[in-house]
């Protein structure tokens, strides 16, 4: 079955598999959104079905909620959970300080709320997500529909005074229609190329009327797990100041959930 998977999918799978080592029975777990997080949800579902793992999952999108239920995870809301032991999610970019850009799937608002309400946030990724400076991936900003064009103009004006290389702002669309988040909001993508001061930019963007939140995750991530196509996994834990390497042997007959799509 591994022959049917691309190298990047194998990398995502082993990162997701390693992340499940942080999940123990009785935990309340934040479940991220995106193709890499989908591998993790599938891996947790297998542990629930076949190995007796008992967890409560708090999904960060309607897509993740459906997948979690489909694989047998007991899904609850964040209000029901109140606080989480751990959140496991993917990322679009991360830097040396484990600051992130998230929101390529448009779920960064729920993802940030859930991650902030957790004792630990673990990010799973393939090696392509590592960058020297954030910003190559467009920064998503969730805005309310009312006055969206005014909000967009305010963001563009604000960017003129920021340490960024690009300043193009576009509204995200799906086919010919505006993308709408689970909260009923629009997404503006900021094509910045390089962000010189992510912390400052995040704070200033969130002060603009009409902005709900942005996709910069600052001081939120505790652990980054990076997978490689050869089964190798690197784990960087900020709190423990550790960097370790794990090797998985991917068997040809292993269930790799090949039906997962981006």
- Active-site amino acid positions: 111
Looking at every residue in the chain, the average pLDDT score rounds to: 93
Least confident of 43-52, 111-120, 243-252: 243-252
Torsion of CA 148, 110, 261, 48, to 10 degrees: -170
Identify the structural domains of the chain with CATH numbers, from first to last.
2-129+219-247 (3.40.50.1360), 139-214 (3.30.70.260)
Q: What is d(CA 191, CA 166) in angstroms, rounded to the nearest whole number?
A: 6
pLDDT: is 221 or 246 the higher one?
221
3-state secondary structure of 203: helix
User: Residue 1 — pLDDT band, cuts 50, 70, 90?
Assistant: very low
Task: Give the residue-averaged pLDDT of 26-53.
Answer: 97
The pLDDT of residue 246:
79
Rounded CA-CA distance 192/58 in Å is 32
Q: Are 48 and 42 in contact (CB under 8 A)?
A: no
State pLDDT tens for residues 181-206: 999 999 999 999 999 999 999 999 99
Binned at pLDDT 50, 70 and 90, residue 250 comes out as low
Distance CA(222)–CA(209), nearest Å, equals 31
Q: What is the largest CA-CA distance in the chain?
A: 55
The pLDDT of residue 253 is: 42
Confidence of residue 248 (pLDDT cuts 50, 70, 90): confident
Binding residues: 33-36, 89-92, 102-105, 129
The band of 239, judged by pLDDT with boundaries at 50, 70 and 90, is confident
pLDDT at 26 over 60: yes
The percent of residues above 70 in pLDDT, for the chain, comes to: 94
Average of pLDDT values for 99-110? 97
**Model pLDDT, residue 247:** 79
CB 11 within 8 A of CB 228: yes
Tell me what pLDDT residue 74 has: 98
Task: Provide the pLDDT for residue 2.
Answer: 45
pLDDT at 258: 45
User: Nearest-CA neighbor of 143 among 210, 61, 217, 189?
Assistant: 210
What number is the average pLDDT over the span 29-40?
A: 97
Q: What is the pLDDT of residue 260?
A: 46
The whole-number pLDDT of residue 63 equals 97
Q: 251 falls in which pLDDT band (50, 70, 90)?
A: low
**Confidence at residue 256, expressed as pLDDT on a 0 to 100 scale:** 53
What is the model's pLDDT at position 238? 85
The annotation places the binding site for substrate at: 33-36, 89-92, 102-105, 129
| pTM to 2 decimal places | 0.92
Beta strands in 13-162 (DSSP E): 28-31, 56-59, 74-75, 84-89, 93-94, 100-101, 118-126, 139-143
């Amino acid at each position: 079955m591994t022959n049917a998977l691309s190298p990047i999918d194998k990398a995502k799978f082993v990162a997701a598999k390693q992340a499940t080592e942080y999940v123990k029975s009785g935990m309340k777990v934040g479940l991220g959104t995106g193709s890499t997080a989908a591998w993790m949800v599938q891996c947790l579902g297998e542990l629930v079905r076949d190995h007796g793992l008992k967890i409560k999952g708090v999904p960060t999108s309607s897509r993740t909620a459906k997948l979690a239920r489909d694989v047998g995870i007991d899904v609850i809301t964040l209000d029901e959970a109140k606080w989480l032991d751990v959140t496991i999610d993917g990322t679009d970019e991360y830097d040396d300080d484990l600051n992130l850009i998230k929101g390529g799937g448009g779920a960064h608002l729920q993802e940030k709320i859930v991650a902030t309400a957790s004792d630990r946030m673990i990010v799973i990724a393939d090696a392509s997500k590592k960058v020297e400076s954030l910003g190559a991936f467009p920064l998503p900003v969730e805005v309310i529909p009312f006055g969206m064009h005014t909000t967009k103009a305010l963001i563009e004006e604000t960017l003129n005074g920021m340490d960024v290389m690009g300043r193009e702002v576009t509204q995200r669309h799906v086919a010919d229609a505006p993308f709408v988040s689970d909260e009923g909001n629009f997404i503006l993508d900021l094509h910045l190329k390089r962000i010189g001061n992510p912390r400052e930019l995040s704070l200033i963007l969130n002060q603009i009327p009409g902005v709900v939140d942005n996709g910069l995750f600052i001081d939120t991530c505790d652990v980054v797990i990076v997978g490689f196509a050869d089964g190798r996994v690197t784990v960087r834990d900020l709190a423990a100041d550790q960097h370790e390497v794990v090797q998985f042997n991917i068997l040809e007959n292993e269930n790799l959930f090949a039906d997962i799509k981006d």
